[in-house]
Amino acid sequence: MDDAQAYASVTVALEAGYRHIDSAAWYENEASVGRAIQHFLTKHALPRSAVFYTTKLKLNNGYASALAAIETSLDACRLGYIDLYLVHGPLGGPDARRDSWRACVEAKERGWVRSIGISTFGVRHMQEILKMDLEKPVVHQIDLHPFMARREIVELSKQNGMLLEAWAPLVRGLRFDHPTISALATKHSKDPAQVLLRYSIQKGYVPLPKTVSPKRVLSNADIFNFTLDEQEIRDLDALDENLVTDWDPTDCK
């Protein structure tokens, strides 16, 4: 998603009622996303607190580098502060992960960020952070959907009070034609994406769907007028196949 697409998509989403916008240094769109948020707030005379903005650390390459990267992200978005800042992944090794987490804690103490968390960490990586005598992550953002349950990671995250955010909750469209998904979509007069998002909501996750289509932005929000029953949730839970749709560094050293 280039700068123009990011600006347009965020603007459409905010006008449609979305209030949580997810970015990352890796996406190279922090400036355009921040600009779209600023323009929306100014247009509607809303306070900065009206929109929740997340971004992420690209590399685990030392405390000083991580702290500098956080400041760069803050300067890029020009929003005054970052609502949620995540360590984007566990690559780099134990020492590098711990250095990144120390930098996140320091950034919060400086007022640059309001909350801190992790993304796509495996159990061992999570345990390293949890054993540090520092603030725990409050969010774990990871790919979660019926075809990737990650039960052990989900359980450890919940045990330690982390809210789970689901990236790729739509499975990148790879399973829209799955018989179970199709049947539920037909039954509830919804499309497959809406079924998958509703599943994520009912599992207690915060789904983060990605799209550049204004039509999809609107339809992705139309999921609060139906409910999946307990058996339907169990049927979806049974679809787990450990499907990786992008990257999966949860077993890295």
Residue 58 amino acid letter: K
Tell whether the model's pLDDT for residue 138 goes beyond 80: yes
Q: What is the pLDDT of residue 100?
A: 98
Q: What is the pLDDT of residue 160?
A: 98
Given the residues 7, 53, 88, 140, the one annotated as active site: 88
Q: Could you tell me the pTM of the whole model?
A: 0.96
88 part of the active site: yes
Q: What are phi and psi of 55, to 5 degrees?
A: -145, 175
Would you state the structure tokens that stand for residue 6, as one six-digit string?
A: 């990011």
Edge-to-edge order in the sheet of strand 163-167: 20-22, 52-57, 82-87, 113-119, 139-143, 163-167, 206-208
The pLDDT tens digits of the residues spanning 142-162 come to 999 999 999 999 999 999 999
178 part of the active site: no
DSSP string, 78-109: TSSSEEEEEE---TT-HHHHHHHHHHHHHHHH
The pLDDT tens digits of the residues spanning 204-243 come to 999 999 998 999 999 999 999 999 999 999 999 999 999 9
Given the residues 18, 20, 27, 188, the one annotated as active site: 27
Would you state the structure tokens that stand for residue 57, as one six-digit string?
A: 């650390």
Tell whether the model's pLDDT for residue 1 goes beyond 80: no
